[in-house]
Amino acid sequence: MAWTSPFAPRARRGRVFIQSASGTETGRRALHAGLHGVDGRDPEGECVGTPLESWVDEAARLTKPDRVVYCDGSEAEYQRMVAKMLSGRDTSTLNEKTFPNCYLHRSNPTDVARTEHLTFICSRQKDQAGPTNNWMDPAEARQKVGGLLDGAMRGRTMYVVPYIMGPVNSPISQVGVQATDSPYVVASMRIMSRMGKVAMDRLGSSREFVPGLHSLGDLDPQRRLIAHFPEEKLIWSVGSGYGGNALLGKKCFALRIASVMAREQGWMAEHMLILGLESPGGKVTYMGAAFPSACGKTNLAMMVSALENQGYRVWTVGDDIAWMKIGDDGYLHAINPEAGFFGVAPGTGMKTNQNVMGALRKNTLFTNVAMTQQREPWWEGIGGEPPEGLTDWRGEKWDPAKGPAAHPNARYTVPASQSPSISPKWEAPEGVPISAFVFGGRRARVAPLVYESFDWQHGVFVGATMASETTAAITGAVGVTRRDPMAMLPFCGYNMADYFQHWLEMGKKIPKPPKIFHVNWFRKGADGKFLWPGYGENVRVLKWILERVEGRGAAQETPIGYVPAKNGLTLDGISVPDAALDELLRVNPQDWEAELSNTKEFFAKFGARLPRQISEEHEKLARRLQPMVTA
């Protein structure tokens, strides 16, 4: 891996006081035991150690922390981070009896979400970033972000967090190293990744790691920037402590940088949940599913199946990201690079996601949720009426006139192993073989409940035309369609036209490619009500997908793909009126005409770089729809 240092201006080498998490220099050496024999310093006292050490050294010279601490990932260290957080005003202990080892962190009110407009891909050529990314020239980014990072850790400690994205012994996993001045980030990284000594052991003295430098800076949104250097495989983030901006292993590495690596190396890094659907007899079929934010990815990954009594059960492998490589058996094999779930709390309750609720009862870090008088976490949608005396996400007595008690983007950070639905295969080094890809979005009209693409190329087109409608809560305008190809719009680290090309090429390389489907749980009737019950009932759609994978499953061919025949879905035990089912499965030519022109406009952004096959699929769809439109 070719990372070079974009530190600028290159500071004079000087000494940095380095400590291990346990507070001694020997601790750091112990972490490196067996990796290199020297003590990491040349006779003049300069670091001449591993590539990691020289990177840390440079990071420290730029940010000028008082101390540098290498994290070992131990429970004792986690508790030290929590103690540091508790010594400030923004973290509280939750009820130790009902929520043992759980904490509530309140972030700065201006720092509660990913900031896409401050997120940049700093490739040498603007074209490499493409029309859907913010681009900054790497030299300019070095200047700008470097300026913000210069001295940013004065008076603070720099924590060096080595981490593995993926199961410890998986060949698909990768090492990252994050330097940060936030104990909250260190604690979160311990839940979200395999962190500390295990990562050091895997890294050895190699330079095969993705470095990420993060500082809270002064949390001023004016001085916040998240910069990715795809050629160097490097991340710089300053001015935010929020998950997607600050836990650099997640969106920054596992999607933006990894998508670039995946293209270079012939694998896939996708914004996909991974689930296993167990069928009667115990066979498990694995699927990867991509949905834009706020479309229920975590709920689907951890679904309590409505057909459990018929032998259909859902196992969770991952809820957000999938890294996939072609296995010896010809299947695409997926790992979940993360070790925890960083999920949106509001809307999560016993009715919607019993498995998550079960997982959150211990060892969970909550962010920006409300708190009851019993010091239990609370949020809108948890079930029941708001209890008396709630403290809101800002830490003030809740006043309903001022908005919801929990921030709408309040989060839980929980070890994946705590989910009752966690798959026995979730840490399998070889990953799980993927038989189906499922794309989806929130569409009140247009997309039927489920359809299957004709082949891989058509499936790539289906993914590339993915879209979701904004809700009134977000924009004030219902039904505004935002194109979000493969749910990767904010996360693809390079030109999306090239990303489509990579998908097309992968299709040729995978001997047993997954079948590609599209789902839409959100279709509405003329009365504006949802036609499909959703949640645990979605397993009925997964069952049809499974049957299609196995060459069964009654289907009808339509211009957009195969839609279930009316008797194709298992509907016993629920009441979906006949007319609703017709509407759920209907392909309305007028809607699809509008869809064709909308997607054409979207694809035009990519100019000549758009793969010919995508335009070809667009034309083929238009041709297939033609007889319906003129009929």
Interacting residue ranges for ligand OXD, rule: CB under 6 A: 114, 244, 293, 320
Tokens representing 435?
A: 């038989």
Question: Is residue 319 within the footprint of Mn ion (CB under 5 A)?
Answer: no
Report in angstroms how near the CB of residue 492 gets to Mn ion at its nearest.
Answer: 13
Residues binding Mn ion: number (CB under 5 A): 1
| CB contact burial 7-41 (16+ within 10 A = b; e otherwise) | beeeeeeeebebebbbeeeebbbbbbeebeeeebe
- Would you call 295 a catalytic residue per the annotation? yes
Report in angstroms how near the CB of residue 409 gets to Mn ion at its nearest.
Answer: 12
Q: Which is nearer to ligand OXD, 57 or 320 (CB)?
A: 320
Q: Which is nearer to ligand OXD, 289 or 625 (CB)?
A: 289
Candidates 72, 320, 380, 452: give the one binding Mn ion (CB under 5 A).
320
- CB under 5 to 8 A by kind: which of Mn ion, ligand OXD, none does 547 bind? none
Q: Which is nearer to Mn ion, 320 or 452 (CB)?
A: 320
How far, in Å, CA of 596 to CA of 6, rounded?
A: 44
- For 71-151, where are the E strands, in sequence order? 91-93, 103-105, 119-121
Report in angstroms how near the CB of residue 244 gets to ligand OXD at its nearest.
Answer: 5
Q: Which is nearer to ligand OXD, 6 or 241 (CB)?
A: 241
Q: Which is nearer to ligand OXD, 319 or 452 (CB)?
A: 319
Amino acid at 4: T
Find, among 587, 420, 623, 440, the residue nearest to 521 by Cα: 440
- 48-51-57-60 Cα dihedral, nearest 10 degrees: 180
Find, among 284, 319, 274, 279, the residue nearest to 299 by Cα: 319
Report in angstroms how near the CB of residue 235 gets to Mn ion at its nearest.
Answer: 17
How far, in Å, CA of 337 to CA of 168, rounded?
A: 10
- CB under 5 to 8 A by kind: which of ligand OXD, Mn ion, none does 244 bind? ligand OXD
**Residue least distant from ligand OXD (Cβ):** 293
- Determine which one of 71, 102, 252, 295 is catalytic: 295
How far, in Å, CA of 555 to CA of 559, rounded?
A: 13
Q: Which is nearer to ligand OXD, 105 or 548 (CB)?
A: 105
Find, among 144, 159, 149, the residue nearest to 218 by Cα: 149
Report in angstroms how near the CB of residue 175 gets to ligand OXD at its nearest.
Answer: 22
How far, in Å, CA of 533 to CA of 530, rounded?
A: 7
Amino acid at 366: F
- CB under 5 to 8 A by kind: which of Mn ion, ligand OXD, none does 548 bind? none
DSSP strand pairing (377-378 vs 313-318):
unpaired
- CB under 5 to 8 A by kind: which of ligand OXD, Mn ion, none does 19 bind? none
Report in angstroms how near the CB of residue 298 gets to Mn ion at its nearest.
Answer: 9
Work out the burial of residue 117: count CB atoms within 10 Å of its CB; fewer than 13 is exposed, 13-18 middle, 19 or more buried.
exposed
- CB under 5 to 8 A by kind: which of Mn ion, ligand OXD, none does 212 bind? none
Tokens representing 296?
A: 């229920």
Active site (catalytic) residues: 295
Which residues of this protein are in contact with Mn ion, per CB under 5 A? 320
